[in-house]
Amino acid sequence: MESNPLHPFELHPYGSLSLFGLDISPNKAVVMMWIIIVLASSLLIIAARQQRIVPTRLQSLAEILVEFIRNMIMDTMGEKGMKFFPFVATLFVFILFCNILGLIPGSYTVTSQIVVTAAFALFVYSMSIVVGFVLHGIKFLGILMPAGTPVLLLPLMVPIELVSQLARPLSLAVRLFANMTAGHTILAVLFGMVVSIPLIAAPLAVKIGLLILMVVLVVGRRRVIAATGTWGLVGMCILIPVILTVIWSRWLPFAFSIAINGLEVGIAFIQAYIFTILTCVYLGDAITLHGHAEGAH
């Protein structure tokens, strides 16, 4: 086991491949993307082909997914936004599969690569700008002036809005990348502790056992012996260090890693959701020109 918790994010090219002088050698992340295409498309196609009125489980799942994204679009963009449904839904599915499959030990989390999240974020943001200008022309610049701003405040508001606009793709990219990276780093650190802790745990536990013995002897030997018997006292001084050694050894970080893994599953869903809903919000802003929507930062 490597001691560097960032080790799981390292990539190594599998062979070398280039297209028009561009290096496109596959690596672990690329292989994960291939797996995701195959898995996501086959699951959804199988689900889509089961056209039953009373749905099967897989069908239900796919329908919940579609309904979920449709509601998301309806809430933020309205009926007009359904043009973007395929894009938004694919984005959600892709990111969700990246996040979730990355949790499988030995796999790779594609979304922990900043270049991947940044590409999506920039694309989404530029798309919202293009849509805005196509739909509203030069009036789209009004997005920099929230409705009802007094004229006097405009010199202040426009730069603020400009910064908030520019922060959108940045925050979108960094949020997903940072969440995925942090979760995996924590897991790596915990697993590292599983290896390293027993080295210090046993001597520490013995010292604590001696400390208890001393305290008992100084404070109230008679009372303790009366309560536990002589063997009870001896047992206490042996048992407690043993228990502490066991607890402080690999079990505690291991138990933590299980809990964190559960948390990571939740985060995988939530981050995919956040990325998608913000995509919808930005596109919705561009379509409806309502200035900034809530939760956009």
Partner 1 sequence: MPQFDTQFFSSLLFWEWVSFGILLLILYKYAFPWILENLDARERKIRETIEAAERQRAEAERRMAEYDAKMRSAQKEAEEMIAQAKVRAQQMMEENERRMSAEAERIKANAAREIEQERRTALEEVRRYAGELGLRVAERVLERSLTDADHKRLADEALTAVAKDFEKS
Question: Is the Cβ of residue 65 or residue 208 nearer to partner 1 in the bound state?
Answer: 65
List Cβ neighbours of 205 (8 Å cut-off, separation of 6 or more). Answer: 241, 242, 244, 245, 248
List Cβ neighbours of 135 (8 Å cut-off, separation of 6 or more). Answer: 286, 287, 289
Q: How many CB atoms are closer than 10 A to CB 173? A: 22
Candidate ranges 27-35, 131-139, 167-175, 260-268; the one touching partner 1 (CB under 8 A): 27-35
Question: Is the Cβ of residue 97 or residue 140 nearer to partner 1 in the bound state?
Answer: 97
CB of 206 to partner 1, least distance (A): 39
Candidate ranges 23-31, 142-150, 210-218, 269-277; the one touching partner 1 (CB under 8 A): 23-31
The token duo for 240 is: 């407690």
Is there binding between residue 11 and partner 1 (CB under 8 A)? yes
CB of 129 to partner 1, least distance (A): 19
Is there binding between residue 10 and partner 1 (CB under 8 A)? yes
CA distance linking residue 292 with residue 124, whole number of Å:
16
CA distance linking residue 66 with residue 44, whole number of Å:
10
Is there binding between residue 36 and partner 1 (CB under 8 A)? yes
CA distance linking residue 291 with residue 144, whole number of Å:
7
Question: Is the Cβ of residue 44 or residue 286 nearer to partner 1 in the bound state?
Answer: 44
Is there binding between residue 1 and partner 1 (CB under 8 A)? no
Give 115's DSSP letter.
Answer: H
Q: How many CB atoms are closer than 10 A to CB 71? A: 10
Among 3, 25, 56, 196, the residue binding partner 1 under the rule CB under 8 A is: 25
Among 58, 114, 186, 189, the residue binding partner 1 under the rule CB under 8 A is: 114
Binding footprint of partner 1, residue count (CB under 8 A): 52
Among 3, 56, 67, 195, the residue binding partner 1 under the rule CB under 8 A is: 67
Among 76, 113, 165, 276, the residue binding partner 1 under the rule CB under 8 A is: 113
Among 72, 73, 89, 131, the residue binding partner 1 under the rule CB under 8 A is: 89
CA distance linking residue 71 with residue 82, whole number of Å:
10
Q: How many CB atoms are closer than 10 A to CB 128? A: 24
Is there binding between residue 124 and partner 1 (CB under 8 A)? no
